[in-house]
Structure 1
Amino acid sequence: MAPNMEQIAQTCFPAAKRVTDRFHVQKLAYEAVQEMRVQARWEALDEESIQIAYAKACGKMYHAPVFANGDTRKQLLARSIYLLYKKESLWTQSQRIRAEILFKEYPDIKKGYYMAMRLGSIYHQCKFKDMALTRLARWYDEVDKSGFLTFGRVARSIQTHYLNIINFFERRATNAAAESFNAKIKAFRAQFRGVKDKAFFLYRLAKLYA
């Protein structure tokens, strides 16, 4: 969705139909949930610092409250990073318990998590562009009504690029192969701590990966 990438595609492949990869769209939603979690964690850290200072002023030892799974509030928020990326069906038992506590304490994070998962379900369940466009419009309305600033930025990005996003549902094409090959090139380049002779580097790439 970056403007420079769009310009490259238009210049090099003027007749091609551009597709915004599903990975990047879903990543925006997952990052919005993580931003909500991080913000809540900073607030928890600030609150704990105030409580520690107050206890010290009173000559007492501060003991942070602990939830049923043994996590303090800041530990709960720090350790929830991975479960918020995963589907509910893929949670481990400990993640399920942690998620139950997290969602009870932070209902906004719960709402944001399920909004991100519903965006992913559009890609899994929709087979046609018209159906996907309708579901995407409903999701956009849901985000708009939620009032979450983090998801507002996601919704605006989707609104700007929705034509390229729904092109995915024609052939369900992704750039996974290109991303995989790009990772191989980066790993190969990293072995030499950079490249001085570009022509020879490209020659070796062609011999190894052609």
Structure 2
Amino acid sequence: MHNQYTDFLLRLPDVKTKQVLEINESTLHIEVTPIAVRQACPCCQLTEHVIRKGQNRVRRIRHLGVGGQRIYLLVPAIRLFCKSCDCGFVWNYSFVDPGKRYTKAFEQQALQTARVATVKQSAELHFLPNSTLHHKHEQWLAIESKRLQKQGWKEAASMSKLVLGIDDFAIRKGQTYNTGIHNLRGETLLDIFPGRRLDELRIYAKQSPAFLALRPVAVVMDLAPYYHTWIRECFPEAIRVADRFHVQRYVVEAVQSIRKSITPTLAPQAKAHLKAKHRLLNPRVESLSVEKQEELRDILGYSALLKQAHAWKESFSRWYDCSPNVHTAKQWLHHWLVQGKQIQHPAIMLCLKTIKNWKTEILNYHRCRGTNAAVEGRNNRIKAFQRRHYFTRNRERYVQGLLVECNYAHYG
């Protein structure tokens, strides 16, 4: 291979290939030499009085692989001396830090692999000691998470129409929870703190002046009373919006409850068919394929009550999508509540009670059409991160990893 082609593959600006010393099935050794004749003194920043004063040794430095082979650069450690400053120093290369055995590009590639997998898997992929990569990854994670979080808070503080999203996610289902604060307009995760009870939320607000300094126009959350109480205390002027996904889930669950109540009254074949296709009741009809719509019509034909409840659920989705303003939405919601009351089923009545209790927050969706859809997707990424890292016990590393996981694609 000609040296100029080797230089093109290496892409190292301040050295050139001297010769290829060793090639085998998995390893490639390349001897390089500096392009420049002299290097400036680190004290006076001049080259006129700098002379070479021997060569200590050859540095063996790992670089990015090419064609499935591991590449090692044999770099001369040239000793230099400045006669003006009367100081000695060693030739500095831009692609590798002093005293390091890996180029900056190789370290960055290994760290990026560890970000989307695990440190152990990345170390095995790049043939690195697990402890070495783990130490480097911890250092990178601390710096990168701090940078991303600082940038996220700065963007949120400067937004004129900031919309926040508040939601919790489980570390251990039913026992331990974390709460995440999200910038819905900026599509970033601002912070994570432990707990979701009202006293834990208030403690976080007292310890986080940056959070209280925000001026959101709206905050989107589920129907948990402690979140609404907390946001009312922290941001009394902000619009509190009930998340559409959580509200519609109450309606869908009411329809499924009716489906369960009528199942025992059906014939065995119809009962089995309805149970097998019960998930078709959840999505909107327009989102289903023609074949799925035919199957939905079949199962709705088993009960007039189920068909009436499903039509009631579909009208609620249309209310969300088609209401042009709050005044019209309020009138349409009243008609929808009357329509549900006519069904006269306990599950429907319980759902209507919930909707009436949170009527103001639900109607606020038409003042600020914000949802926690992106937050729910981010929660899925968080759960995948937790499974991938086996629920990291170090709280600081855990939070740093989640901040990088959720924000790196936006700010990276």
* TM bracket (short chain): 0.7 to 0.9
1:58 aligns with none
1:7 aligns with 229
Q: Equivalent of 1:194, from 383, 388, 391?
A: 391
1:182 aligns with 379
C-alpha distance 83-209 of structure 1, shift in aligned 2 (>3 A): closer
C-alpha distance 43-168 of structure 1, shift in aligned 2 (>3 A): same
1:138-149 pair list within 5 angstroms:
138-149=335-346
Q: Please, which moves more after superposition, 95-104 or 134-143?
A: 95-104
Does the Cα contact within 8 Å between 1:76 and 1:98 map onto a contact in 2?
no
Instruction: Name the CA distance, whole Å, in 1 between partners of 2:313 and 2:281.
Output: 9
**Post-superposition offset of 1:196:** 1.2
* Residue identity matched to 2:255: V
**Post-superposition offset of 1:184:** 1.5
* Residue identity matched to 2:295: R
**Post-superposition offset of 1:101:** 3.3
Instruction: Name the CA distance, whole Å, in 1 between partners of 2:400 and 2:285.
Output: 47
Q: Does 1:170 align with 2:367?
A: yes
Aligned-pair Cα RMSD in Å: 2.1
**Post-superposition offset of 1:11:** 4.5
Does the Cα contact within 8 Å between 2:326 and 2:364 map onto a contact in 1?
yes
- Using the size of structure 1 for normalisation, the TM-score is 0.78
Instruction: Name the CA distance, whole Å, in 2 between partners of 1:97 and 1:177.
Output: 32
Q: Equivalent of 1:101, from 298, 305, 321?
A: 298
Does the Cα contact within 8 Å between 2:337 and 2:352 map onto a contact in 1?
yes
1:41-80 pair list within 5 angstroms:
41-44=263-266, 72-80=269-277
Bigger RCO of structures 1 and 2 (CA < 8 A, at least 6 apart) = 1
**Post-superposition offset of 1:76:** 2.0
1:110-121 pair list within 5 angstroms:
110-121=307-318
C-alpha distance 180-105 of structure 1, shift in aligned 2 (>3 A): closer
- Using the size of structure 2 for normalisation, the TM-score is 0.42
Question: Where does the alignment leave 5 or more consecutive residues of structure 2 unmatched?
Answer: 1-222, 408-412
Instruction: Name the CA distance, whole Å, in 1 between partners of 2:260 and 2:399.
Output: 42
Instruction: Name the CA distance, whole Å, in 2 between partners of 1:94 and 1:180.
Output: 28
1:26-45 pair list within 5 angstroms:
26-44=248-266
Q: How many residues align?
A: 185
* Residue identity matched to 2:374: A
Bigger Rg over Cα: 2
Q: Please, which moves more after superposition, 14-23 or 153-162?
A: 14-23
Does the Cα contact within 8 Å between 1:40 and 1:77 map onto a contact in 2?
no
Instruction: Name the CA distance, whole Å, in 2 between partners of 1:92 and 1:169.
Output: 29
1:57 aligns with none
Q: Please, which moves more after superposition, 5-14 or 100-109?
A: 5-14
More helix by share: 1
C-alpha distance 104-179 of structure 1, shift in aligned 2 (>3 A): closer
2:204 aligns with none
Equivalent position SS for 2:367:
helix
Does the Cα contact within 8 Å between 1:38 and 1:77 map onto a contact in 2?
no
Does the Cα contact within 8 Å between 1:20 and 1:164 map onto a contact in 2?
yes
**Post-superposition offset of 1:204:** 2.4
Instruction: Name the CA distance, whole Å, in 1 between partners of 2:361 and 2:259.
Output: 30
1:122 aligns with 319
Instruction: Name the CA distance, whole Å, in 2 between partners of 1:11 and 1:177.
Output: 25
What are the superposed Cα offsets for residues 19-68 of structure 1, whole Å, 9 maximum, x if unpaired? 00111111111111111112222444xx75xxxxxxxxxxxxxxxxxxxx
Instruction: Name the CA distance, whole Å, in 1 between partners of 2:284 and 2:403.
Output: 40
C-alpha distance 183-13 of structure 1, shift in aligned 2 (>3 A): farther
C-alpha distance 206-22 of structure 1, shift in aligned 2 (>3 A): closer
User: Share of identical aligned residues, percent?
Assistant: 23
Question: Where does the alignment leave 5 or more consecutive residues of structure 1 unmatched?
Answer: 49-71
More strand by share: 2
* Residue identity matched to 1:25: V
1:9-24 pair list within 5 angstroms:
9-24=231-246
Instruction: Name the CA distance, whole Å, in 1 between partners of 2:229 and 2:387.
Output: 28
Instruction: Name the CA distance, whole Å, in 1 between partners of 2:405 and 2:301.
Output: 53
Instruction: Name the CA distance, whole Å, in 2 between partners of 1:105 and 1:180.
Output: 35
